[in-house]
Amino acid sequence: MATTLLSIRGLTTVFHCRQGQIEAFNNVDLDIDQGQVLGLIGETGCGKSVLGMSILRLLPPNGVSRGQIIYKYRDLLGLSPQVMQRIRGAEIGLLPQNPSASLNPVLSVGQQLMEGLRLHRMIKKEKARVAAQTLLGCYGLRGFNNRYDEYPHQLSGGMKQRVLAALSITGKPSLLIADEPTKGLDGVARNQVVALLRQLTRETKMALLLITHDLKVAANLCDQIAVMYCGEIVENGPVGKVLVSPLHPYTQGLLASLPENGLHPIPDYSPGVPGDIQGCRFYPRCRYRQDKCSCQTIKNKRINETYVRCLSASEGREN
Ligand SMILES: Nc1ncnc2c1ncn2[C@@H]1O[C@H](COP(=O)(O)OP(=O)(O)OP(=O)(O)O)[C@@H](O)[C@H]1O
Ligand SMILES: [Mg+2]
């Protein structure tokens, strides 16, 4: 039986701003098993990146999380900053959203990898150099010679993303959080990053939380898909179910809006201030809405292996 690596319960993150409190997401429950690839999808601004940063406790000073983030039986929210510092990179790695801003522009890619290796694996300079070259060859820039001494500005977007991927696993983490790893890449570079992430998860048995807008990439890599809408997880189930026969009207709308499915957009926009909404947050845009959906708390319902937050969801409902 699969062992749970990360178990998030009732997690809410808010930002304290001059205008008041802004909720990024609310009451999130998620589990990731060892070696599992969980895709987190949902429209822009729904809270995906803040969720990733909340797990790593890398929020800006005005961000506050409450709830539980149990990683290997310890609640990350209760750990001291020093212990948390040791967990980042060594236990939970991050492949950040913006590769250009995440590499140090004044250090060669080889030096950056070497530093990561020395920090996490406590090895001497010469050994770290050899390990960095191996890592770069295996995961970073296979097929590209002499890139070790080059600087980030000399690399393409896809190459930078692969260097970052190599960098994010220098500490051999058990869980990698990859935030939009294929964003802005052309088809060829995207396929290379997908192949690299697949290689990483298979070879190292590392679990992956893949935050993405690209449903093809999600279908390709993930075992499980969680769908976020307006700060809430509305559907969570096996990839073959969620992306093939979705149960939540939002997931159905997301799939119908893809070009290959006829480019049918979901009407209207996501509401701006989710904290003010009672009942279902998708209610104003939902074609199955009933009066009761707008005024009562919607609980998760289990249908086969999928959890769905919708009063009217049922197996076999027509899309
Ligand atoms: N530092 C901050 N202060 C206030 N609000 C913030 C801050 N960072 C994020 N938010 C808000 O939190 C919400 C969630 O943002 P987040 O970046 O997680 O969205 P996302 O789902 O990752 O979007 P995208 O797909 O565009 O990357 C947004 O409404 C955003 O405006
Ligand atoms: Mg984001």
Please give the pLDDT value at position 8. Answer: 98
Q: Point out the ligand nearest to the CA of residue 270.
A: 1
Q: Decide if 268 is inside a domain.
A: no
For residue 319, is pLDDT > 60? no
Dist CA 83 CA 93 (whole Å):
15
Q: Decide if 12 is inside a domain.
A: yes
Residue nearest atom 26 in ligand 1 by C-alpha distance: 44
The percent of residues in the chain predicted with pLDDT above 90, rounded, is 65
Mutual angle of helices 109-121 and 125-135, in 10-degree steps: 120
Confidence class for position 67, pLDDT limits 50, 70, 90: very high
Range of the domain at 115: 4-222
Whole-number mean pLDDT of the chain?
91
| CATH number reported for the structural domain that contains residue 94 in this entry | 3.40.50.300
Residue 60 Cα: closest atom of ligand 1? 1
Please give the pLDDT value at position 23. Answer: 93
Please give the pLDDT value at position 14. Answer: 96
User: Rounded to two decimals, what is the model's pTM?
Assistant: 0.94
Q: Decide if 293 is inside a domain.
A: no
Q: Point out the ligand nearest to the CA of residue 50.
A: 1
For residue 318, is pLDDT > 60? no
Check: CB of residue 265 under 8 Å from CB of residue 259. no
Q: How distant is the alpha carbon of residue 164 from its chain centre?
A: 15
Confidence class for position 152, pLDDT limits 50, 70, 90: very high
For residue 167, is pLDDT > 70? yes
The burial class, CB within 10 Å (0-12 / 13-18 / 19+), for 244 is exposed
Token readout for 270 is 């996501």
Residue nearest atom 31 in ligand 1 by C-alpha distance: 45
Cβ of 60 closer than 6 Å to ligand 1, yes or no, is yes
Q: Decide if 284 is inside a domain.
A: no
For residue 145, is pLDDT > 60? no
283 Cβ neighbours under 8 A, 6+ residues apart: 277, 289, 293, 294
Q: Decide if 302 is inside a domain.
A: no
Q: Decide if 290 is inside a domain.
A: no
Expressed in angstroms and rounded, the spacing between residue 11 Cα and the centre of ligand 1 is 16
Q: Decide if 319 is inside a domain.
A: no
Residue nearest atom 30 in ligand 1 by C-alpha distance: 45
Q: Rounded to the nearest 5°, which phi and psi values hold at 178?
A: -110, 115
Closest by CA to 136, choosing from 113, 153, 120, is 113
The percent of residues in the chain predicted with pLDDT above 70, rounded, is 94
Q: Point out the ligand nearest to the CA of residue 40.
A: 1
- Total domains present in the chain: 1
Check: CB of residue 120 under 8 Å from CB of residue 167. no
For residue 128, is pLDDT > 60? yes
| pLDDT: which is higher, 98 or 36 | 36
The per-residue pLDDT for range 234-287, each reduced to its tens digit, is 999 999 999 999 999 999 999 999 999 888 999 888 876 566 678 999 999 999
* For ligand 1, mutation pick of 12, 13, 15 (most atoms within 8 Å of CB): 15
For residue 103, is pLDDT > 80? yes
Residue 13 Cα: closest atom of ligand 1? 12
Q: Decide if 121 is inside a domain.
A: yes
Please give the pLDDT value at position 200. Answer: 86
Best mean pLDDT range from 92-101, 143-152, 300-309: 300-309
Token readout for 9 is 């319960």
Cβ of 50 closer than 6 Å to ligand 1, yes or no, is yes
Cβ of 271 closer than 6 Å to ligand 1, yes or no, is no
Please give the pLDDT value at position 132. Answer: 87
* For ligand 1, mutation pick of 41, 50, 183, 228 (most atoms within 8 Å of CB): 50
Cβ of 22 closer than 6 Å to ligand 1, yes or no, is yes
Dist CA 42 CA 234 (whole Å):
10
Cβ of 49 closer than 6 Å to ligand 1, yes or no, is yes
Cβ of 15 closer than 6 Å to ligand 1, yes or no, is yes
